[in-house]
């Protein structure tokens, strides 16, 4: 099996590159000239960019080899997500890998503004020692308003508590529990948050709230504004005017609408504005974390797994261990159902039972549809484009939720109107346990390699299967039998230690009373 080939267009960091090199062939550049990228897109299974390149629709479409693209950073503003999804290309990023760095830089800017650190440094270097000219303000007791309580916003809250600040926050997408856990009083809109914020910091994507003059004027007189998130979230001319007329005291800016900002920008002339060149996530530790998170996500996606840092799939907010366990459950039940049952109509019923969060339903729908369609189509189908492909082939999946945190997670699949197609699997003790196949009760741990036979329940069939498997040098680890009733159809599941040679399948199909043989490797 050939290793996948990956193009890295900008510096990723040695740890990330080393991980990629363990699993793939890698062509890495410190900075690939953007004009060279179009001619290379069809030569790689994955492409990793940072900020210097833009993956437009024209670049993404029409490359059957390309399966994964990644942005080594938190945002994906320079990737056309719609085009990637239509093409079944997984989009990976590294959310939160630089959250601590960005939060710390937020306070670096804030302290620089409040304690006059840049001017004080320049004053001493020029031979001065006028302490009175640089008296500043302390953070303790100030009210901090946080827009966006994602990973960075939460780190900001954690640090702010250490300074003894009072915290208010606005984020319409975050649950009340998150506010409570991080000691942040919830504001339900900006009109509520802004007048209470003597210091305001923003940590949202580009589609977050935009602060123009009308919003900035709602801040109390003498307030300070910090932006280490995305350029363009704060209207720079309005900020400059409110600083000039004294309504705002100062600002710390790491990002700008245009980068680098023009020297004619009015904010350049204000002594109470501290500026840095988009350094928020740029520490050695953060860059290493970004590289590793990006690399592991890319390799997972290339290997058919669903990484938790995939962007164009609705990943539920679970920790990595719980997510991968649920992903394994969905993969097993979907493959067995799609392989062993015949299609009846065009509607699949998915029942989600037990201790599974309701936030997982959308992802599970796409995950199961992708598995079913992969067994039936030659086209590329994965969790990314499963809904689009299902719609184009007239397949729909309906969800029945029977959630119960007191019982084990269980997924059931059946074709609508065909109870004998019912297939069930549960998570027990961290492992996938098959409970039912084609309506026949079973109870076995799903192995890495399996052979399933469907045969008439007649004497001698089981023995003949075992004999043939042994003759082909394949060792049986476990054997499980199930049937609806004596003399009817039966299922046998063999857990195997070795790969299954094709001639063995042909030999098994010649056994009398054998209906079908299914292989899982």
Q: Is 278 noted as a catalytic residue in this protein?
A: yes
End-to-end alpha-carbon separation of the chain, Å? 15
267 contacts: CB under 8 Å, gap ≥ 6: 236, 239, 240, 243, 251, 253, 261, 273, 275
Residue 416 is a catalytic residue: no
> In what order do the strands lie in the sheet containing 347-354?
396-403, 347-354, 410-415, 418-428, 431-437, 440-445
Q: Which of 238, 232, 287, 290 is closest to 258 using CA atoms?
A: 232
The torsion angles phi and psi of 513, rounded to 5 degrees, stand at 75, 5
Mapping DSSP onto H, E and C, the string for 430-472 reads CEEEEEEECCEEEEEECCCCEEEEEEECCCCHHHHHHHHHHHC
Structure tokens at 151: 């990973």
Rounded to the nearest 5°, which phi and psi values hold at 392?
-70, -20
Q: Which of 259, 285, 471, 521 is catalytic?
A: 259
Catalytic residue among 278, 393, 449, 454: 278
- The residue from 53, 105, 230, 414 that is catalytic is 230
Under 8 Å between Cβ of 280 and 101: yes
Q: Pick from 340, 318, 520: which is nearest to 427 by CA?
A: 318
- Answer for the pair 318, 136: CB distance below 8 angstroms, yes or no: no
Distance (Å, whole) CA 86 – CA 376: 19
CB 425, CB 442: distance < 8 Å:
no
Count CB-CB contacts under 10 A for residue 358: 10
Q: How far is it, in rounded angstroms, from Cα 265 to Cα 280?
A: 21
Q: Would you state the structure tokens that stand for residue 86, as one six-digit string?
A: 């239509």
Residue 230 among the catalytic residues = yes
Token digits for 469? 């498997």
Three-class secondary structure of residue 293 per DSSP: helix
**Residues forming the active site:** 230, 259, 278
């Amino acid at each position: 099996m050939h290793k996948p080939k990956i193009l890295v267009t900008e510096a990723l960091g040695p740890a990330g590159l080393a991980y990629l090199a363990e699993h793939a062939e890698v062509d890495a550049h410190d900075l690939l000239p953007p004009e060279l990228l179009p001619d290379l897109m069809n030569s790689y299974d994955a492409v990793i960019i940072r900020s210097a390149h833009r993956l437009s629709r024209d670049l993404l479409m029409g490359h059957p080899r390309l399966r994964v693209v990644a942005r080594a950073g938190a945002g994906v503003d320079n990737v056309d997500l719609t085009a990637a999804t239509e093409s079944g290309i997984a989009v990976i990023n590294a959310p939160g890998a630089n959250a601590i760095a960005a939060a710390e830089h937020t306070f670096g800017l804030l302290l620089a503004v409040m304690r006059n650190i840049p001017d004080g440094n320049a004053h001493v270097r020029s031979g001065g020692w006028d302490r009175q000219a640089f008296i500043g303000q302390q953070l303790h007791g100030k009210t901090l308003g946080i827009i966006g309580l994602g990973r960075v916003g939460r780190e900001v809250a954690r640090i702010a508590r250490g300074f003894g600040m009072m915290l208010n926050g606005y984020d319409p997408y975050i649950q009340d529990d998150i506010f409570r856990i991080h000691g942040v009083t919830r504001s339900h809109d900006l009109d509520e948050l802004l007048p209470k914020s003597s210091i305001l910091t923003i940590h949202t994507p580009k589609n977050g709230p935009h602060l123009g003059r009308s919003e900035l004027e709602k801040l109390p007189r003498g307030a300070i504004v910090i932006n280490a998130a995305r350029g363009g979230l704060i209207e720079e001319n309005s900020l400059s005017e409110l600083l000039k007329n004294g309504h705002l005291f100062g600002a710390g800016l790491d990002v700008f609408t245009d980068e680098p900002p023009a020297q004619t920008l009015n904010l350049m002339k204000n002594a109470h504005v501290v500026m840095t060149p988009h350094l928020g996530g740029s520490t050695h530790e953060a860059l290493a974390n970004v590289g590793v998170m990006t690399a592991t996500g890319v390799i997972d996606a290339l290997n058919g797994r669903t990484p938790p840092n995939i962007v164009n799939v609705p990943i539920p907010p679970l920790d990595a261990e719980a997510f991968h366990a649920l992903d394994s459950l969905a993969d097993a039940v979907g493959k067995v159902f799609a392989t062993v049952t015949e299609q009846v109509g065009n509607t699949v019923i998915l029942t989600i039972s037990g201790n599974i969060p309701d936030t997982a339903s959308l992802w599970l729908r796409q995950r199961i549809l992708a598995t079913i369609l992969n067994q039936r189509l030659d086209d590329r189908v994965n969790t990314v484009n499963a809904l689009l492909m299902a719609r184009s082939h007239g397949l729909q999946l309906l969800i029945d939720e029977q959630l119960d945190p007191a019982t084990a997670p269980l997924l059931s699949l059946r074709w609508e109107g065909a109870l004998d197609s019912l297939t069930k699997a549960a998570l027990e003790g961290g492992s996938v346990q098959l409970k039912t196949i084609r309506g026949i009760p079973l109870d076995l741990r799903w192995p890495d390699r399996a052979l399933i036979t469907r045969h008439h329940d007649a004497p001698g069939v089981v023995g003949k299967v075992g004999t043939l498997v042994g003759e082909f040098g394949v060792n049986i680890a476990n054997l499980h039998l199930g049937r609806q009733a004596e003399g009817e159809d039966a299922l046998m599941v063999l857990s195997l230690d070795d790969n299954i040679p094709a001639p063995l399948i042909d030999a098994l199909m010649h056994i009398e009373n054998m209906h079908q043989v299914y292989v899982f490797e």
